Amino acid sequence: MFSNRIPIAKMAAAVVVLSAITCAIMLSINWNGAEDSTAAPKIDDLMNIAIVLSTVIFWIVMVALAYALHAFKAKPGDESDGEPIHGNTRLEIVWTLVPTVIVLFLGGWSWKVLDEVEEPTGHQLTVDVFSQQYAWSFGYPGKEYAYSQGVLHVPVNRQIVFKMHSQDVIHSFWVPQWRIKKDNVPGITTTAIVTPDKVGTYQLICTELCGFGHASMRAKVVVEPEAKWAKWVAGLKEKVPTPLMVSVKQDTETNPEPLERVDAE
């Protein structure tokens, strides 16, 4: 067998050095932009962990591949068959266990992050989000379903429970600086919970290809101090139109718990 001739120490050193260089470059890039919700730094940390783990695995595979290409190359003129190899049980156990541990670790960490992000603060605000080809509109149940088309205002430093409804096809709610993203599915009420912690103006972007006008399906998002927000809501003249209220009342609730926890306003 050739196993005792494999230069494991040199290959491991190559993996460490290449991973260190790659991680230094990858982690120095600001992939996601400003962190403007309490969820953002936690989700960015999670992504950095995933970057480091994938970088190490990438280089393990590449170094092993480069070694195999070099070490097991056929000599010129060698037309013979390769050696019949049964396999390596120990190696197979290792390459099954290691990814399993990594996936479970990332799953567990993600669970923890989501739990922290959605931990009820006791002073939540519920906002209904309505999506249709190709526009967003919003209802404020605590303010007798005051209705706003294309513009969403929310107070800063307050946990917002978005209840999402689609009138036609699947859309997806995404404010990049908040990181949170959630599909709006016809017939179902989906929920996204986010606490914006910076004042500012953002874009709500649809991130589910929903038809011809998908690229232009955006809305303006304003995060402002609570008093300013309350004044803005009080100035809304319209109420949520009946067809949209139908989806509020009839859609199947996928995540009923947060709604029950919401304070009466």
DSSP strands (E only) in the chain: 125-132, 135-140, 146-149, 151-155, 160-166, 171-174, 181-184, 188-194, 200-206, 218-224, 252-253
Rounded least distance, CB 170 to Cu ion, Å: 8
Would you say 120 or 186 has its CB closer to Cu ion? 186
- Of 156 and 204, nearer to Cu ion (C-beta) is 204
Shortest approach of Cu ion to residue 111 CB, angstroms?
A: 28
Q: How far is the CB of 215 from Cu ion (least distance, A)?
A: 8
Render 31-59 in DSSP notation, one character per residue.
Answer: -S----BTHHHHHHHHHHHHHHHHHHHHH
Binding mask 153-182 for Cu ion (x = CB under 5 A): ------------------------------
Q: Report in angstroms how near the CB of residue 159 gets to Cu ion at its nearest.
A: 26
Sequence-distant (6+) residues with CB within 8 A of 41 are 35
Residues 6+ apart with CB under 8 A from 63: 11, 14, 15, 18
Binders of Cu ion among residues 194 to 253 (CB under 5 A) are 206, 210, 214, 217
Distance of alpha carbon 147 from alpha carbon 240, whole angstroms = 5
Please report how close the Cβ of residue 252 comes to Cu ion at its closest, in angstroms. 22
99-138: contacts with Cu ion (CB under 5 A): none
Q: Which is nearer to Cu ion, 175 or 236 (CB)?
A: 175
Toward Cu ion, which CB reaches closer, 37 or 172? 172
Alpha helices in 33-185 (DSSP H): 39-71, 89-118
Residues that bind Cu ion (CB under 5 A): 206, 210, 214, 217
